[in-house]
Structure 1
């Protein structure tokens, strides 16, 4: 019981949500009415998608592509395909946010998330995420499953100004 309380307090203090996932998140409930602005953008509306990008997750601990260029203001549907035999995830963020979350994942490997900028995809499955990149800059994405991030399963999103 003390461990559960400690994990809840730690997660609450870091602003991370707990929940990880189903096979694909395609049946994820709609994004809450109040969308939370992040430094790397905000949850998008499927009706305003301007482009679809497929991201493959590989057991070589790599994403394909590893670099994505986007224009500020674009709403992108990411289709994540796990071509491997192990669970992978795709988490958007800043390097600092990903480092912090990866550290937590090492301590609590069964921690789950249910945020619009995070998705778990089981082997051989696919899932999608809709995100609006409303701020220019360079951002990161990664698989934060323990060992994957440390092995280099990371990528970059460059959001070009309007």
Structure 2
């Protein structure tokens, strides 16, 4: 069967454009832009604080993540208004993540992760960390209270892969 020249050109162009279409459509997928230093940080006030500026971090806290479902340290003390760099270091062979939030929000998110186990995150209070890699969260804890951090990958939260953050009020 022979097609008119314009149809053949359109078909050839479509085949050439197909890989670009997939690349462009997948670039905006949930989690694809996480960890890119040039990606703009959305600063949305949460009950546990707001995204911080890296240059304002007063200290870096390394949180080790292991396949025995432990986070170390599993308790942090922070002053209200302090900006921290939380450096999540995955020392295991499994994918891990760290997410900051309230107890109720983390429980709800952990349930959602059970239903969508491959979901990655791109919020500034989350870091999805492949084995042997690290991920940073820079966060300003501008609200006093008790909060948590956890790995919400299906089964990890339930296995106890979580910690607490106490934000002490300004004196």
Query: 1:160 aligns to what?
Result: 168
TM-score, length of structure 1 as denominator length: 0.83
Quick one: distance in 2 between partners of 1:141 and 1:30? Answer: 23
- Where in structure 1 are there 5+ consecutive unaligned residues? 1-17
Spell out structure 1 runs of 4+ moving beyond 4 A. Answer: none
Query: 1:29 aligns to what?
Result: 39
- Where in structure 2 are there 5+ consecutive unaligned residues? 1-28
The answer to whether the Cα contact below 8 Å between 1:75 and 1:132 also exists between their aligned partners in 2 is yes
Q: Deviations over 1:26-57 (max 9, x none)?
A: 5461313xx11000000001121111111111
User: Which among 3, 20, 26 is matched to residue 31 of structure 2?
Assistant: 20
Quick one: distance in 1 between partners of 2:147 and 2:87? Answer: 18
Equivalent positions of 1:117-128 (< 5 A) are: 117-128=125-136
Query: 1:5 aligns to what?
Result: none
Higher relative contact order, chain-length normalized (CA < 8 Å, sep 6+):
1
Give the alignment's Cα RMSD to 1 decimal: 1.6
SS in 1 for 2:157: coil
Larger Rg: 2
SS in 2 for 1:47: helix
Quick one: distance in 1 between partners of 2:49 and 2:158? Answer: 25
Query: 2:72 aligns to what?
Result: 64
Q: Deviations over 1:92-136 (max 9, x none)?
A: 000100011111111111222210001111111111110000000
User: Which among 139, 155, 158 is matched to residue 150 of structure 1?
Assistant: 158
Query: 2:90 aligns to what?
Result: 82
Query: 2:61 aligns to what?
Result: 53
CA change 1:85–1:60 in 2 (3 A) is: same
Q: Deviations over 1:118-155 (max 9, x none)?
A: 11111111111100000000000110000101100000
Quick one: distance in 2 between partners of 1:21 and 1:70? Answer: 30
SS in 1 for 2:87: strand
Structure 1 position 44 matched with structure 2 position 55: no
